[in-house]
Structure 1
Amino acid sequence: MRKLARQCLLIWYAFVFSAPDGIAQQVADETFNYPVPMPAYKVGSGPLIVFDEAHNNASTLKGAYAAFGKLLESDGYKVVSSKEKVSFGLLKKAKIYVTVNAMYDMEDWNLPARSAFSQEEINELSNWVADGGSLFLVTDHMPCGASVNELAGRFGVNVINGFALRRDGQPEVFSKERKTLTSNKITGPPGKEIDSIMCWGGTGFIVPPNAYVISLLGEDYSI
């Protein structure tokens, strides 16, 4: 089987994985706190991060991703949630746009799935990224993957609308020892090397040749 990149959400000091609340029985630890002794910016003085809540996102900044938001704010970033559709006005002051499990319809899993983002929104995001913005796209297993595949496709990424499952049912540990976790600036900063991560559920995606891949699905997975 062709090796595929695995859906993971990685941000400097912590890993956060999620699925829509109505799809998987997962409870976020909203009290989680990770100390940042040397923040990248003074509190409230860093770049603006816009967290998408306009596309039927079950994961919200004050809900499942509360710890994510707290971590970024501790590092000095300004983080705001937005219920607005993507537009030039929304993006013009932002440095990073985060969208988690965007869906066209949370209740409808029937095929063919429809894009959570309109062509106008995809065009705005594509132009904004070309001008220096950063898109942080997080998705999950079917039907989430299909809802963002048109957006991901604009950047050469093919998100598979399925389920990535380990065949033997064992814990989903990605490690450098197993060669399923790569060495790069994210997993290997001096003194903070990450040798393994643990995931559950999700899907896979195929990336273009120039992409930097963090983790891989091996022969022990099926989609």
Structure 2
Amino acid sequence: MKQAIVLIFLLFGLRVFSQQVADNKYLPVVKKANQKEEIFVDEAHNNFHTVSNRFKPFATLLRRAGYTVKGFTNKFSDNSLKKIKTLVISNALASGSRPPFVTPTKSAFTNEEIKVIKKWVAKGGSLFLIADHMPFAGASEKLGAAFEFKFYDSFLLDKDRRGIFDFSKKNSMLAKHKITSNKSPYGKIKRVRTFTGQAFKIPNKAQSILKTNEKLIVYLPDTMWRFSSKTKRFKATNMSQGAVIKYKKGKVAVFGEAAMFTAQLAGRSQFKVGMNAEEASENYKFLLNLIYWLQSK
């Protein structure tokens, strides 16, 4: 029976991964933000999510809230980032990467680009880094490490190898922070849902917003979506799926799951995955509060 469940899960994962499309009908009512800074979304690193594709609901939500959102198609350099305040990087991959994804995963960024990003944040830039389950975690591992976040090219799952989780005040997995409090511009957040990603270790000065525990497991397969009794694993005790840190004059938000910040239709049945899911009704407010925190002084 367990083998059948695992097989269904694997087929589900592979099918959904290839058939995710943006749900452009997802249009929650939002109030205008006071911030006027432009938000740039990386599209220069073979990104799975871009503003014109699977991250279009992300861009649409922020635009309706008053922000200007643009795709960023340049490699990272001192010159290209010179006038940018907020940069979003979601599920980057090395050039030429394609299924089947096997370890080791190549970095999506050159060592020079990582140095540039680190220096840019130190001078006051705001980085929103999203690195999902394998291979995306591995592709951003070096960039995360530049800010002392430890990524694992992995999947965060429960004991039945399912990866949809609710982080709430009730289960103590959603932390107290300006982003989740009554003082945030879009109100208090009681629950956030994620849709299969990775968990990571955070530096001492960072604060985990989405806290994982010993009930969740980090699986490290050699090939994406392929699991067996021999697959390496360990408990996700005191790890995180979403954390923030102030780095010198700048800020960094790191999250291990991307679907939670967009709205998608997946598989042949076109079921809802992301902010549009009924159980994720507060995710859009969480995203808006997070962007506000990144842009505030």
| TM bracket, shorter-chain basis | 0.7 to 0.9
Moved over 6 A (4+): 19-22
Q: Does residue 28 of structure 1 match 2:22?
A: yes
Map 1:131-142; keep pairs closer than 5 Å: 131-142=123-134
Aligned to 1:189: 182
Map 1:9-158; keep pairs closer than 5 Å: 23=17, 25-41=19-35, 46-104=36-94, 105-107=97-99, 109-158=101-150
In structure 1, stretches of 5+ residues that fail to align are 1-18
**Cα distance in 1 for residues equivalent to 2:28 and 2:14:** 24
The structure 2 residue matched to 1:178, chosen from 171, 182, 187, is 171
Distance 1:180-1:30 versus aligned 2 partners, 3 A rule = same
**Alpha-carbon contact 2:42-2:72 (below 8 Å) kept:** yes
Residue 215 of structure 1 aligns to a residue whose secondary structure is: strand
Query: Could you list the per-position Cα deviations for residues 72-124 of structure 1 after superposition, in whole angstroms to 9, with x for gaps in the alignment?
Result: 22333222102211112221111111111001123352222211000111111
How many pairs were matched up? Answer: 201
TM-align CA RMSD: 2.2
**Cα distance in 1 for residues equivalent to 2:104 and 2:170:** 39
- The one-letter code matched in structure 1 to 2:192 is I
27-36 vs 141-150, which moves further: 27-36
**Alpha-carbon contact 1:20-1:101 (below 8 Å) kept:** no
**Cα distance in 2 for residues equivalent to 1:212 and 1:162:** 22
**Cα distance in 2 for residues equivalent to 1:21 and 1:31:** 22
Query: Comparing both structures, which one devotes a greater share of its residues to helix?
Result: 2
**Cα distance in 2 for residues equivalent to 1:179 and 1:110:** 35
- Structure exhibiting the larger radius of gyration computed from Cα positions: 2
In structure 2, stretches of 5+ residues that fail to align are 1-12, 219-297
**Cα distance in 2 for residues equivalent to 1:209 and 1:20:** 36
Aligned to 2:198: 203
- The one-letter code matched in structure 2 to 1:79 is V
Shift of 1:194: 1.1
Higher relative CO (CA 8 A, sep ≥ 6), structure 1 or 2? 1
**Cα distance in 1 for residues equivalent to 2:131 and 2:207:** 18
**Alpha-carbon contact 2:42-2:90 (below 8 Å) kept:** yes
Distance 1:198-1:207 versus aligned 2 partners, 3 A rule = same
- The one-letter code matched in structure 1 to 2:47 is N
**Cα distance in 2 for residues equivalent to 1:106 and 1:212:** 34
Query: Could you list the per-position Cα deviations for residues 161-199 of structure 1 after superposition, in whole angstroms to 9, with x for gaps in the alignment?
Result: 111001244852111111111111111134821111111
144-153 vs 160-169, which moves further: 160-169
**Cα distance in 1 for residues equivalent to 2:163 and 2:112:** 42
Distance 1:221-1:24 versus aligned 2 partners, 3 A rule = farther
The percentage of aligned residue pairs carrying the same residue is: 34
Distance 1:142-1:154 versus aligned 2 partners, 3 A rule = same
**Alpha-carbon contact 1:30-1:64 (below 8 Å) kept:** no
